[in-house]
Amino acid sequence: MDISDIATQDYTEVDAEERLGKVRALFEDENPKGVIVTRAGGAEYEGVITQKQLLSSHIEDDTRAITIANPSGNAPKLERTEDVRDVARKLVEGGTKIAPVFEADQLWGIVTEDHILEAVLDSLDALTVEQIYTADVVTVNEDDTVGTVINRLREHGISRLPVLDEDGDLTGVVTTYDLVRFVTRDIEKTTRGDRRGEVERMLDLPVSDVMSEPVETIRPDDSVESAVRTMLENDYAGLVVTTENEPDTVAGVLTKTDVLRALSYTEEEHMDVQITNIDLLDTLVREDVREGIEEVTEKYSKLHVRHAHVRFHEHKERLRGTPLIQCQIRLRTNQGQIAGTGEGYGADNAYYMALDTLERNVLEVKGVQADEEYQGQLLRKLGEL
């Protein structure tokens, strides 16, 4: 299936010279997946602006939209005839919910993650939430500040955080959209001279003031189809997964990105590896990354990797012009999730640091499994005495 039938010409658009204040208002009023930036009355494509970009931007409202629109950035440029699975992969790797679609080198429209999920919805009943959700979830506490929430979202490259009370029970969820809506609404009430103090005040507010409650939850044994239907019907980007017997205990999070990632699984001979922010790579190519991970996982023959996700994140710190990069490698395997994280100046160094950590964690899983097998053999022998 290609995207020719699901791409749309119905999208939110602004001129490259438009103020960012207007863009923020568009997100508040229309809640689009992203805003397309153009010139010459829409004839020339310039880039895409997403909520995540606005949240991470400290640029003033009077700044032009073109300042943060990046035509060669995370949003891939697609052709109308591209395969749905390939497009799903490109959205995941770009960390974006929207991408421009071209026909004969002219901007035709857009495709979003929702378009893809709606098209494949009926085929998701065979998957369960447990098979694809993210277990090592990042959370915040009710008394954490909005500033802490923003930093945590930026640090981990995510768009939602479950909120826990002092007993560790789920009480709410805070998303990028919650923060953009909250900041936009409150800033509009202030004058230009008061804005700096108003922003500082908002950053010090507790997350309980901006979080959404009650929380829509799902269980690990629910079908992915029912979970996606809930997300689409309520315009949720994700759902909190809770344990079967303890509905207030967070087990993980299932997002639309997790589902897109599952759609792009391949049946190829080699491991399926997806790379987020692949443009940060220096001399490495996808094949080098895949071979490195395969070499590590082959040290444990009973480990079957269903999917590998490598994410690069660039920090502001630099050494002789080379940025400090964080790399996270996360594997979904028949032994559960295994991850490795590393930092270094340049993506290559960060990747090899993360690979070393991953190898230690793989060998640790191998050792634990060996210990359990040994204990089982010992107990059986004792039972025969």
pLDDT of 185: 59
pLDDT of 261: 83
Tell me the average pLDDT across 171-189.
Answer: 72
pLDDT at 241 over 90: yes
The rounded distance, in Å, linking the Cα atoms of 294 and 206 is 44
The rounded distance, in Å, linking the Cα atoms of 8 and 315 is 35
pLDDT at 236 over 80: yes
Share of the chain above pLDDT 70, in %: 85
pLDDT of 265: 63
pTM assigned to the model = 0.67
Residue 268 binned pLDDT confidence (cut-offs 50, 70, 90): very low
Q: What are the two backbone dihedrals, phi and then psi, of residue 141, each rounded to the nearest 5 degrees? A: -100, 160
pLDDT of 362: 86
Tell me the average pLDDT across 122-141.
Answer: 86
pLDDT of 225: 94
pLDDT of 58: 64
β pairing state of 35-39 and 13-15:
parallel
Q: What are the two backbone dihedrals, phi and then psi, of residue 216, each rounded to the nearest 5 degrees? A: -75, 125
* Spacing of C-alpha 81 from chain mean position: 25
Share of the chain above pLDDT 90, in %: 23
Q: Is 351 exposed, middle or buried (0-12, 13-18, 19+ CB in 10 A)?
A: buried
pLDDT tens digits along 57-111: 667 778 888 888 865 455 788 998 998 888 888 888 777 888 899 998 888 999 9
Of 121 and 336, the one with more pLDDT: 121
pLDDT of 385: 46
pLDDT of 73: 53
pLDDT of 43: 80
Residue 374 binned pLDDT confidence (cut-offs 50, 70, 90): very low
Domains of the chain: 13-112 (3.10.580.10), 129-259 (3.10.580.10), 265-375 (3.30.160.100)
Tell me the average pLDDT across 192-208.
Answer: 69
Of 366 and 81, the one with more pLDDT: 81
pLDDT of 356: 92
Average pLDDT, the chain: 82
Tell me the average pLDDT across 34-52.
Answer: 84
pLDDT at 366 over 80: no
Tell me the average pLDDT across 203-229.
Answer: 90
Tell me the average pLDDT across 297-301.
Answer: 79
pLDDT of 17: 92
The rounded distance, in Å, linking the Cα atoms of 213 and 175 is 12
